[in-house]
Structure 1
């Protein structure tokens, strides 16, 4: 490949590897709406994608920092790159939207006022047979963002369920129900899991094992044949969502230490962690348990000192106490307490802190 072409393609490859900005994929806040950051111009061409939940932060030292410093070059190579990256699934609305949003960000860096014409020209080169459909999809996307911006204040005031319903009503109107559900399929699955967790949390007289069994059933129902791969890719998040249930924390807190350790290990096994990971978690649990025991002892002694002393003498004794309990971390603890934060008065979240 020509040496001049390689940096530009590498930069575009990194940018296109980013997450879709309009399509919510991460828990929480599946109803989060995009906002616009483009220069004010026509209502349609001004709408610019902005980083949403889970979007990668810009790195000024990465090759992406070169974007926007010069005119677009080698459009034929870019068209080939798009066909190679997206061609196999380009008829899928979700894939179309991911590509369009990544390209919007790319072209707006290069040409903030004329980005849409540049983007459309590239689409015509890359996918001439789908050009009209992709143009329609882009305009639907821009119209949706315009609507969200115009109704942002109203949406913010609505309860979460009503806000989701309003967003889905507009998505269905603009995109059509079938297309909208494909574009926001990840959000629908996230919401299905969240609804299932709420039901699992409310189960009366269920054990942690019972709730985990129901959880895995709900994941299998939601993700179907993709369940094993999804579990593998999202083990930590899925495990945390289960451990965050009040009913699970309540039962874990009522267990004897050995039983609780066994229960936590079982939860992690059910989430597909291998033996090495299970061993690391066991060791981390022991470190956390020791730290909370030390913290409890420290807080008891701290309270006793606060009842006996005040002013500079209390501060001197607390400094000595923190140094005895926390050594190198003593100054951090002191600064936290000066700001009003006492880490060992937080609720213990078993398996989480």
Structure 2
């Protein structure tokens, strides 16, 4: 017993007592004396810990700061290309949109000042283009109905006439993308009127036309839009007619040659030829399905017909049977129409 008392009076015993007391306080079993604060909620704890650090309230940017941010953003985006005529028009269009939103009552009076802030060295030229753009847009609004009533060729002639009147020689640079696309469309239209060229001959003629129209830029144009341009050639009715007359193996070779003329490498040619093989097999199966379907429709009626058709679709298309059924319920029969060879 004396040894036990000695232990609790020793430093080790005192440490054990303190630790046990802390555990009991944490468990809520041992309460402090009446002289000590009892922390029962977050507010008491906050009072004990002292005042919290003040929260920073971000002040909304002033009008001048917002304008400065807009000017900086425009300069960063357009300074590298400000000499490009089309980019100059984009500057004007985006400035107009910004000013209309911020200053709907007097945005026009602010154009010149903002242009001087944005690009001082080009401000006068940009202001002149602004007035030209306003004149052109006003003409478009007045002539809208008349333009819609014109043929495509007449409308194009009228539009370009007004563009030259408003912007001079710069019009060709401002609408360079449209001009380029129109030249491509013209070349394709020319091919469509020459059925004797055939599929490969059409591709060869098209590439030659591009080189004549765009010179050294033709190869870059082909590289950037190869698949799109290839699809547009393949979809020409003269090319489709030529492909439909050919047996499957010869047709696949013709498509490979056509793509080769358009600049595809051997690896791409092999991938496309494998895709052509899968497409041919899928359409052969689809055409067989349509023949068998027609026989079932003439042989069965009512629920028996639907059951037979469901079984046929499951046998022919497996996991795609449900999609085929939904199409047919909507009146679409994908294998009853004429196939677009080289596209599906």
* TM-score (normalizing by structure 1): 0.71
Figure out how many residues of one structure are paired with residues of the other and give that number: 283
Q: 1:217-232 residue pairs with structure 2 within 5 A?
A: 217-232=208-223
Structure 1 contact 220–227 (Cα < 8 Å) conserved: yes
Equivalent runs, 1:94-173 vs 2, <5 Å: 94-104=86-96, 121-173=113-165
| Matching of residue 202 in structure 1 with residue 193 in structure 2 | yes
Unaligned runs of 5+ in 2: 1-61
User: Whose RCO is larger (CA < 8 A, sep 6+)?
Assistant: 1
Matched with 1:41 is none
Q: Once the 2 structures are TM-superposed, how far is the Cα of residue 143 of structure 1 from its aligned partner?
A: 3.6
1:166-315 equivalences under 5 Å are 166-176=158-168, 178-203=169-194, 205-315=196-306
Structure 1 SS opposite 2:218: helix
Shift of 1:78: 4.3
- Superposed CA deviations along residues 274-315 of structure 1, whole A, max 9, x for unmatched, are 333222212221221111111101111111112122333322
CA contact (8 A) 2:71 2:117 kept: yes
User: Structure 1 residues 231, 116: closer, same or farther in 2, change over 3 A?
Assistant: farther
Q: Is the 8 A contact 1:108 1:115 kept in 2?
A: yes
Instruction: Name 1:67's counterpart in structure 2.
Output: none
- Does the 8 Å CA contact 2:78/2:87 hold for their aligned counterparts? yes
Q: How far did residue 234 of structure 1 move?
A: 0.7
CA deviation map 1:179-220 (0-9, x unaligned):
222211222222222222222232353243322221111111
- Distance (Å, rounded) in 2 between the aligned partners of 1:324 and 1:109: 61
SS in 2 for 1:345: coil
* Displacement of 1:102: 4.6
List gaps (5 residues or longer) in structure 1: 1-69
Once the two structures are superposed, residues 77-107 of structure 1 have per-residue CA deviations (whole angstroms, 9 ceiling, x without a partner) of 5434434433343233222123333555566
Q: Which residue of 2 aligns with 1:326?
A: 317
Mapped to 1, the partners of 2:119 and 2:77 lie a distance apart of 12
Deviation string, structure 1 residues 233-255 (Cα, Å, up to 9, x no partner): 11111111211222211111112
* Maintained 8 Å contact 1:75/1:122: no
Aligned equivalent of 1:351: 342
RMSD: 2.7
Matched, 1:82 2:74: yes
Q: Which has the larger radius of gyration?
A: 2
Distance 2:299 2:162 in 1: 63
Q: Label 1:238 to 1:112 Cα distance change in 2 as closer, same or farther (>3 A).
A: farther
Q: Structure 1 residues 278, 123: closer, same or farther in 2, change over 3 A?
A: farther
SS at 1:343 equivalent = coil
Question: Where is the helix percentage greater, Structure 1 or Structure 2?
Answer: 2
Note if contact 1:71-1:110 (Cα within 8 Å) is conserved in structure 2.
no
The 3-state SS of whatever aligns with 1:347 is coil
3-state secondary structure, aligned to 2:196: coil
Instruction: With the length of structure 2 as denominator, give the TM-score of the two structures.
Output: 0.72
Distance 1:296 1:209 in 2: 27
